[in-house]
Amino acid sequence: MTIREVREAVRARSAADVCADALARIETLNPQLNAFNTVVADQAMARAEAIDREPDRWRDAPLAGVPIAVKDNLCTRGIRTTASSRMLEHYVPPYDATVVSRLERAGGVIVGKTNCDEFAMGSSNETSAFGPVRNPWALDRIPGGTSGGSAAAVAARLTPMALGSDTGGSIRQPASLCGVVGLKPTYGRVSRYGLIAHASSLDQVGPLTRTVYDAALTLNVLAGSDEADATCAAEPVPDYTAALTGDVRGTRIGIPRALLEQGVDAEVSGAMDAALDVLKARGATLVDVDLPHACFATPVYYLVSTAEASSNLARYDGVRYGFRAKDESLRGMYAKTRARGFGAEVKRRIMLGTYVLSAGYYDAYYLKAQQVRTLVLRDYDRAFADVDVVAMPTSPLPAVRIGERVSDPVQMYLMDVFTVSANLSGLPAISVPCGFTRGPGVSKLGDAASSEGGLPIGLQLMGRRFDEATLLRVADAYERDTEWSTQPPPLISNR
């Protein structure tokens, strides 16, 4: 069910009934998917029953009685919040993230915390300390990362909406690989207070949903300034659902053709071209745009994000919260705590970040990357003087097999080639389902990924800063003419 359908079900039956259904689905399917780190069944039922007891109070609340999954790197008061790390395995936050309070104020019912890559570092959900999430469309494949549990939960119809966070594609890429909608808002559109920090100049919270309408509805609840986050903007928040007119006549869509020559699976580029034809048929104008520095975005991203991560993760020292290893000396305690508390990918990134920030390498790597970041950003500003949105695939490949790329960090990082630019530039971006692999196909990358049919493909649209309305309008218009989002994965349809 979508949020809209759930709201009707809550009115017709009850929030408790709807919540019990969601919990039953989770109990049945989560053992196969590993999408949840924690399920709070009793708390969710109590909350749903409380909503049922006060129908007048909740009548107009946009999410009243809607079961919601929250990525496990967002703090939830009284609910274990692990960031999928041994470091925080038993951490129970004393406060709620602002996005969590806002969802609850809107009537949302939190049912659990979703698995993700450790500290949101990864592209496949394989770095989680609690095991990989499995893709509902093919259980031997990755769901994408880092919000893989959130994407799998929505794709498998466990909840109609899940919160994710996106530092380099972590909402959009799993949304694409699991066949759901994923929205990364403009940097500063949504509060980061209570989001466990990965890279503070890039991180943003956003929803994963079945439909674009549901993403717009959720953004209405999440967006807006927050006194607890100085980086959260005071820009006015429009009603994003009102923007969904279906009208894209005269809308200019830019396509960075040169960038796409970097290597895109043949089925992915075919699906993207077909999607653009749909928008063209609705009256949109397709134009080529030049983003000469976008090809440097991935190396820039890995230099900037690891530098920020090495600084942010310095706080995990075994003193104030989280895991502590025993040692006689303070420095020994720090080093052992961090050695045992962090997994390999997190250690790798802390090391890389520490290196690029160290004396002698700072200018050559960190400063240089920040300068190239300026050029990436300017390319987009120039493009958006001419077009309303920029379109490209979300991921160069459909979901790969679990274990296929995890041993080679550079190969894994290349999965992020089309998503990191939006974070470096602070732009809003959305991934919408635009087809399935037909397979057996021939991949330009020599990969086995598309040799199997039925894997979801995502179209990514990027927009101007704080212009989520246009982004959502174009995505919704596309969705109106296609039925990708209504198809359930075989895991459910075979049952």
Pick the stretch among 24-32, 145-153, 267-275, 402-410 that binds other proteins (CB under 8 A): 402-410
128: helix, coil or strand?
coil
Is residue 94 part of the contact set for other proteins (CB under 8 A)?
yes
Name the one range near other proteins by CB under 8 A: 28-36, 134-142, 403-411, 442-450. Answer: 403-411
Map the footprint of other proteins across residues 329-348, applying CB under 8 A.
329-336, 338-339, 342, 344, 347-348
Is residue 78 a contact residue for other proteins (CB under 8 A)? Answer: no
Span interacting with other proteins, options 244-252, 361-369, 437-445, 452-460, rule CB under 8 A: 361-369
Written as six digits, the tokens of 208 are 């994963």
Q: Which one among 45, 321, 438, 453 touches other proteins, defined by CB under 8 A? A: 321
User: Which one among 41, 139, 286, 377 touches other proteins, defined by CB under 8 A?
Assistant: 377
- Cβ proximity to other proteins, 34 vs 337, nearer residue: 337
Interacting residue with other proteins among 4, 80, 324, 444 (CB under 8 A): 324
Residues 2-41 binding other proteins (CB under 8 A) are: none
**Residues in region 249-308 near other proteins by CB under 8 A:** 293, 296, 299-300, 302-303
> Angle formed by the axes of helices 98-105 and 212-222, to 10°?
110
Instruction: Give yes or no for residue 201 binding other proteins (CB under 8 A).
Output: yes
Indicate whether 230 belongs to the interface with other proteins (CB under 8 A). yes
Q: Which of 14, 225, 262, 285 binds other proteins (CB under 8 A)?
A: 225
The reply to whether 187 sits near other proteins by the rule CB under 8 A is: yes
Show contacts with other proteins in window 421-440 (CB under 8 A).
424-426
Neighbours of 54 (CB within 10 A): 10
Q: Is 167 in the site for other proteins (CB under 8 A)?
A: no
For other proteins, the binding residue among 262, 370, 470, 482 (CB under 8 A) is 370
Q: Which is nearer to other proteins, 107 or 322 (CB)?
A: 322
Q: Measured from the CB atom, is 13 or 324 closer to other proteins?
A: 324
Strand partners, 36: 114
User: Which residue from 204, 266, 268, 209 is spatially nearest to 232, judged by alpha carbons?
Assistant: 204
Rounded to the nearest 10 degrees, the angle between the axes of helix 15-33 and helix 3-12 is 130
Contact 256, 418 (CB under 8 A): no
Least Cβ distance, residue 371 to other proteins (angstroms): 4
How big is the CA angle at 322 (ends 321 and 328), to the nearest 5 degrees? Answer: 90
Q: Strand ranges (DSSP E) for 265-318?
A: 285-288
CB 293 within 8 A of CB 372: yes
Cβ-based neighbour number of residue 224 at 10 Å: 18
365: contact with other proteins by CB under 8 A: yes
CA distance from start to end of the chain: 16
Strand order in the sheet with 252-255: 36-39, 109-114, 67-71, 161-166, 204-209, 181-184, 429-436, 456-463, 389-393, 252-255, 285-288
> Nearer Cβ to other proteins, position 213 or 418?
418
Tell me how many residues contact other proteins (CB under 8 A): 75
Residues 6+ apart with CB under 8 A from 302: 352, 413
User: Segment 454-493, which members bind other proteins (CB under 8 A)?
Assistant: 465-466
Taking the complex as a whole, how short is the minimal distance between the CB of residue 306 and other proteins, in angstroms?
Answer: 9
Query: What are residue 460's DSSP bridge partners?
Result: 392, 431
274/377 with CB nearer other proteins: 377
Q: Between 248 and 350, whose beta carbon lies closer to other proteins?
A: 350
Phi/psi at 330 (5° precision):
-65, -45
- Asked whether position 495 contacts other proteins by CB under 8 A, the answer is no
Q: Where are the alpha helices (DSSP H) in 128-239?
A: 148-155, 172-178, 212-222
Shortest Å, Cβ 62 to other proteins = 24
Please pick, from the candidates 242, 281, 287, 319, the single residue that binds other proteins as defined by CB under 8 A: 319
* Closer residue to other proteins in complex, CB, 59/90: 90
CB 202, min distance to other proteins, A: 9
**Interaction between residue 236 and other proteins (CB under 8 A):** no
354 binds other proteins (CB under 8 A): yes
Q: Is 244 exposed, middle or buried (0-12, 13-18, 19+ CB in 10 A)?
A: buried
Cα(412)–Cα(424) distance, integer angstroms: 19
